[in-house]
A and B are shown apart, each in its own frame.
Chain A
């Protein structure tokens, strides 16, 4: 019996330099849900392009790349080949995200491939997107002339497993910087990147964009693979998400010529001023906004709020907690429940219930929405629709809890963003938004304190001496 017919294991084809590789030779197990999937055997030599060979996109104009990406987005919406439908089915089996959330994410991925928006992204990231196509001239104040180009890099993208949208973004950015791209997919989603790349073949099977892309899976940390291909002779940068084991696996391969562009693991928070208690309607509205930020992607992503600092007295803060818990439960109609809390976390919350003069607990640990109120942030990392509300006298008092792992801070009322933003940035936070808008994103804005395209490209100068 071939592995494909094995009902217990789903097939996860590879995509290597413009070709779909659909063999089912190697069995893996997804980390989160323990579902088996089968892939082709990895051909290491096919994953690298020697430096004597220019990448397929090196001489393709940005405009043509954008047209191709937009056409891919269009095809993704139609999905005539059923690639994305199939990917959704398979991701739903390997990923903790509810199906509705995955479907929404896949629609967002198709919409992301929008020509005008992508161009705006590049313009904002690079100042002048022509630098991708041309050697832009400049004469400095001493009269020296030089030409600069954002030269195409060779990139390994270690994709996160928690958001299919990131696959689309990484593919789009990798194409726009004209890179030679190798995507290492995660075990909780070894499907989405390949589904997008397959769609590209339907647009034009010989286009240089798909020829510049490979998407494969190996078990993160597999030294046989990583020691062989994580070499500066083959790649310039490793673009990696996450922390802990995922990043320590990568860090050991860094060396002169092989750099890391890291999207570090992040925690997001909210800061809610006493204005929330102006009226009952306001409080309802603030709780709804807060629940949006907490429950986004079922709290799987870095932008999801986990700790909410609320300015007020105990009674006010408890009123907020009660409403927030209700709003989190209301959201279940939209995106389904999150998985129940792991036993150790549930136990920690139970202990807090027992110490009711120190803590307040609303809801149960079944993934439907849980709120824990404390005087300082709890020790555990709130997950699966859990919000930790911390009572503070003044939002300024909460600044000491902001640290280098803090990403997004949702503030209410919006007017108070200005009073807080310098303190937040100094503490380490990287993104300040209106409460309820953690998922919003202005086109080309910095991510994790950097302009991503700017970090991806290889800045090359051609010095032309005194004019």
Chain B
């Protein structure tokens, strides 16, 4: 699929090919826009006959061609588009129906398969992988799980482009560090693929990289919780089932605590060599606390480097958490790469020296109003606030246009770091976190009657 020659897709290839150019992040938006629009139009023409939801979207929005940014907006999928399957199908393991649903949001046909002997979501996902569908899921523990199809090439590109972005951000992988991974992320194809090139580029050849020895967080495991929630709501869950899951949840808590402890121990044990640390800020903070509690801090470590992706994910930490982590593990901004990304798209935006996240040329950022319905036109100078939406031209397995739940501030003007690409400010909020809980009405659902399974 990925290697296939696309004679008409030259704009797409040109933009995506920039991943290997010396500095993909220096092209100004105005220069980029015509080819981005051309490329999105190419994608649109090619995918309209393949992705059913896109076809529906184009018909509803009356879009037959992409000529300007506003034409892209009706074609964007809400970040909820990948969770529109009826949950009952998952609970009752109706894999044939789930397959038909997945097909409506996929580029490459999800063929009917023999669903005999598929026992659970993980098994279904594995079967899909054998057919070239690498499905990643969002890892929320409440509500539905988003299921996003991708190809093998998508995964490879995610990993490769991430490594390039990290190098652009100033890190210099040279097989001279031990890689310490904190784990604690779901074992999705996207997460697996994006870690691999980094590991290969950074890790010393004489030492094995470290990852905590705990049972992996599988999508099936996450989904089991969601299924139980539904059964509780339906009134069909038995007390023993609820008790069983409370035990499972307690074990998961223990595994998380153990990961933190193991990572802290590994850091201390490997402190005599330079390290490259990979994880999320929340767990990283906890690890740093453990390292301090064991009597170690910055002076005990070499000049370490780190890759940190994503926000805090609602973890409560003191406001000085970054300084605390940096001081404890001997990190500094020139040796740390932060990126802004999400499961819904393939490409991460790396943070520059001026503390802003830069968009790759093959990703168009569209700033929308809070409702997600209307485009906020780019401004030549200054910063504008709104809901982030993206079109990631590198995506093959599904549609590249998606509206996020993030509230961001973006500028189209050149950045203080010297690069001229569009950039996003460091403070990124989720609209879901900013909504007030003030709504009182008599109408409501059974969801309010389900106590969260911890």
Contacts and interface: CB of A to CB of B under 8 A. Distances in A.
Nearest to A161: B440
A348 B443 contact: no
A32 interface: yes
B442 A160 contact: yes
Interface string B77-118: 110110011111000000001001100110000000000000
Interface stretch (B26-34, B206-214, B272-280, B445-453): B445-453
B441 A354 contact: no
B104 A242 contact: no
A137 B448 CA distance: 43
B233 interface: yes
B77 A347 contact: yes
Interface string A300-319: 11101000000000000000
A163 B442 contact: yes
A160 B440 contact: yes
A31 B439 contact: yes
Contact of B439 (A163, A242, A428): A242
A23 interface: no
A302 B442 contact: yes
Interface in A351-379: 351-355, 358, 374, 376, 378-379
Given A242-B441, A355-B100, A31 B436 contact: yes
A336 interface: no
Nearest to B446: A405
Most buried by A among B52, B80, B444: B444
Interface residues of B, number: 41
Interface stretch (B11-19, B53-61, B281-289, B413-421): B53-61
Given A32-B439, A343-B371, A379 B144 contact: yes
Nearest to A349: B84
Nearest to A428: B235
A404 B446 contact: yes
A178 interface: no
B437 interface: yes
A403 B444 CA distance: 13
A322 to B, nearest CB: 20
A124 to B, nearest CB: 21
Contacts of B438: 31, 186-187, 219-221, 245-246
B444 A350 contact: no
A347 B104 CA distance: 12
Interface in A1-36: 31-32
B69 to A, nearest CB: 18
Given A162-B443, A379-B144, A404-B235, A350 B57 contact: yes
B443 A304 contact: yes
Nearest to B443: A302
B86 A301 contact: no
Contacts of A419: none
B241 interface: no
A403 B235 contact: yes
B373 interface: yes
B300 interface: no
Contacts of B449: 243, 264, 403-405
B372 interface: yes
A290 B172 CA distance: 67
B234 interface: yes
Interface in B94-151: 97, 100-101, 104-105, 144
A242 B444 contact: yes
A79 B235 CA distance: 49
B86 A376 contact: yes
Nearest to A357: B100
B87 A379 contact: yes
A187 B440 CA distance: 9
Contact of B443 (A32, A267, A350, A351): A267
A374 B88 CA distance: 12
A354 B104 contact: yes
Interface in A118-166: 158-163, 166
B42 to A, nearest CB: 24
A182 to B, nearest CB: 15
A300 B441 CA distance: 8
A381 interface: yes
A413 to B, nearest CB: 26
A338 B233 CA distance: 28
A374 B84 CA distance: 14
Contact of B437 (A220, A265, A379): A220
B448 A351 contact: no
Contacts of B235: 403-404, 427-428
Nearest to A299: B443
Contacts of A244: 437, 439, 444, 447-448
Nearest to A344: B80
B443 A301 contact: yes
A277 B85 CA distance: 31
A265 B101 CA distance: 31
A267 B445 contact: yes
Contact of A245 (B60, B86, B372, B437): B437
A266 B78 contact: no
Contacts of A300: 441, 443
B86 A266 contact: no
A265 B444 CA distance: 4
Contacts of A161: 439-441
Nearest to A297: B443
A63 interface: no
A245 B439 contact: yes
- 10 closest Cβ pairs, A-B complex: A265-B444, A245-B437, A243-B448, A351-B84, A344-B80, A302-B442, A405-B446, A162-B441, A242-B440, A220-B438
Interface of B: 52-53, 56-57, 60, 77-78, 80-81, 84-88, 97, 100-101, 104-105, 144, 233-235, 371-373, 403, 436-449
18 contacts: A161-B439, A240-B440, A241-B441, A243-B445, A244-B439, A246-B440, A264-B448, A300-B443, A301-B443, A343-B403, A350-B84, A351-B53, A358-B97, A376-B86, A379-B86, A405-B446, A405-B448, A428-B235
